[in-house]
Structure 1
Amino acid sequence: MVKQERAARTRQALVRAAAEVFAREGFAPASLAAISARAGVSNGALHFHFENKNALARAVEREAAAVLAKITAVPDDAPGGVLQVLVDATHALMGALADDPVVRAGFDLGADASRQGGPCLRGVWRGWVEEMLQRAEQEGQLAEGVSSHGAAPAVVAATVGFEVLGAADREWLSAPKITGFWELMLPRLAPGRPLAPAGPHTTPP
């Protein structure tokens, strides 16, 4: 049991170290030596857990995808409706991108031209945003004359833009930036309706 726990800690340290190196240097320039050094383990320990750099990248992407799946999970009794879910998820995603190097690297790897085959998390996010806006339209939450087809490109482009800009300047991922966007966007999507808060929603205890 102790050996298993130690192995799990080592593997997690390698995944996090790989994410940090990938996010800083990109996939192609990143070296296994730099990753093992950052994790504080030997090259032999790295190869025990991961066959090569691609295997490490896939592990990073899987963990990032799992975080995104949790962020975009829609509760059955979501307070405030679908638009609130969309607002909350945007805040949660930007917070994860700012604080979790695995999530940041997972998004970056999917857009890295030097490798192929991994999940494109930006594409997953785009599909989910489109689905949420379609649901909002079907449930009558969007204003007259506003379609999910018309609104989705603006929301996707803005939120992906925050993600991309936030790689160099974390201020773009901050709650005030995201709140400002939704304060501008929500009145266009649903004027005349009781609007969900533009900041992260919290359920009272």
Structure 2
Amino acid sequence: MQERARRTRAKLIRAAAEVFAESGFAGASVSRITDRAGVTLGSMYFHFKNKEALAREIVRSQPDIVSPPLAAKGLQRLIDITLTWSYQMLDEPLLLAGARLVTDQELFISAEENSHQQWAEVAALALTEAKDMGQLRDGVDIPAFARMVVSACTGAQMHAQMESGRRDLPQRVEEIWYCVLPAIAGPGTAELMVFGETRGRPAAGLKKRKP
């Protein structure tokens, strides 16, 4: 793809994310998206068949957007992913669009490709690594726990949006981990996990797990 075409595609995705975040799937029109992007309808249909295709692209891209600033493995990696997501949810249009689209996904994406399934797979990979590192208690059901993490974070995001405009979402995500770590972490593991803004944003302070 030529550079100009890549820029146009990126502008369309960004504009669509902003419009979806503001108005949801049903309230977003193709003309409003192209106006926001500053491109023609012809350019839009060259890159995307319809509004549904744009929404699918945004939902599918969600895990790729979240990249923790610090390297980690296993359980710390999963904690960092959730914390990075929580901080980016404060101002990242693509993630905000994904949150707004979550209740409309049946209109444009299959159950096998929805964002919950994607995030559960990401969580399961980190948990499998944690198991291989000896960080998990015996008998932890990795697929079930991965789904629980996704469901808990989704619920935290919804309540944070209603109650604080998402300002306290990072705190809510940390609280989830404080509650569940004792149930899944092997001996001595929970105490080694690090929380704080630095795990989701660079140049911030560290803090260990609450007792």
Query: TM-score scaled to structure 2, two decimals?
Result: 0.70
Number of aligned residues: 193
Superposed CA offset, 1:58-103 (max 9, x none): 33234334325x56xxx9xx64x51111111111122233322113
Give unmatched runs, 5+ long, in structure 1. Answer: none
- TM alignment of 1:127-138, pairs within 5 A: 127-138=121-132
Structure 2 counterpart of 1:21, one-letter code:
V
Structure 1 counterpart of 2:107, one-letter code:
S
Given that 2:134 and 2:186 are in contact with CA atoms closer than 8 Å, whether structure 1 keeps it comes out as: no
The Cα of 1:21 is off from its aligned counterpart by 1.2
User: Residues 153 and 63 from structure 1, CA distance in 2 versus in 1: closer, same or farther, beyond 3 angstroms?
Assistant: closer
> How far apart, CA to CA, are the structure 1 residues paired with 2:137 and 2:59?
37
User: Residues 133 and 32 from structure 1, CA distance in 2 versus in 1: closer, same or farther, beyond 3 angstroms?
Assistant: same
Superposed CA offset, 1:79-128 (max 9, x none): 4x511111111111222333221133245445413323383122111233
> How far apart, CA to CA, are the structure 1 residues paired with 2:133 and 2:24?
42
> How far apart, CA to CA, are the structure 2 residues paired with 1:164 and 1:103?
13
Given that 2:17 and 2:93 are in contact with CA atoms closer than 8 Å, whether structure 1 keeps it comes out as: yes
> How far apart, CA to CA, are the structure 2 residues paired with 1:152 and 1:117?
20
Query: TM-score scaled to structure 1, two decimals?
Result: 0.72
3-state secondary structure, aligned to 1:26: helix
- TM alignment of 1:22-171, pairs within 5 A: 22-68=20-66, 70=67, 79=72, 81-106=73-98, 108-109=100-101, 111-112=103-104, 113-117=106-110, 119-143=113-137, 147-149=140-142, 151-152=145-146, 154-168=148-162, 169-171=165-167
Structure 1 counterpart of 2:175, one-letter code:
G
Give unmatched runs, 5+ long, in structure 2. Answer: 204-211
Structure 2 counterpart of 1:196, one-letter code:
M
Give the match for residue 206 of structure 2: none
> How far apart, CA to CA, are the structure 2 residues paired with 1:56 and 1:181?
32
Q: Extract structure 1 runs of 4+ deviating beyond 6 A.
A: none
The Cα of 1:151 is off from its aligned counterpart by 4.6
> How far apart, CA to CA, are the structure 1 residues paired with 2:63 and 2:132?
27
> How far apart, CA to CA, are the structure 2 residues paired with 1:167 and 1:14?
26
> How far apart, CA to CA, are the structure 2 residues paired with 1:171 and 1:196?
23
> How far apart, CA to CA, are the structure 2 residues paired with 1:51 and 1:152?
33
